[in-house]
Amino acid sequence: MEIFALKGHKVKVTANPDGTIKNGDSSDKKKIEEHLEVGKIYTVEYTNVHSWNTDVVLEGFPGVVFNSVNFESVTDQPVELSKGHPDWNRFN
């Protein structure tokens, strides 16, 4: 997914052909299983980009932090918009 995703960016859980969760370690997958559905589209509230991972908070799930590896973008976000992300300048 676009790690510099801004509020409103659309994502869905990455999935294997059999519908199982594709990416993340066991704790990441467990959190997805507890809160989300494979194939459903979700809206990003915000992301926090770190040097080794990116935290994703989705609308409707306050206080629940997901790993960006669990998602793929459904919509494209132009680079010009990504540059407006608060973490952009730290990594570019």
Specify burial of residue 73 (Cβ count, 10 A radius: 0-12, 13-18, 19+): middle
User: pLDDT tens digits for the chain (92 residues)?
Assistant: 999 999 999 999 999 999 999 999 999 999 999 999 998 999 999 999 999 999 999 999 999 999 999 999 999 999 999 999 999 999 99
**Residue 7 corresponds to which tokens in the numbers above?**
């509020």
Tell me, what's the pLDDT at 69? Answer: 96
Q: What pLDDT, on the 0 to 100 scale, is given for residue 1?
A: 96
pLDDT at residue 32, as a whole number: 96
- What's the order of all strands across the beta sheet hosting 41-49? 66-67, 54-58, 41-49, 10-13, 71-73
d(CA 48, CA 63): 13
- pTM for this prediction: 0.94
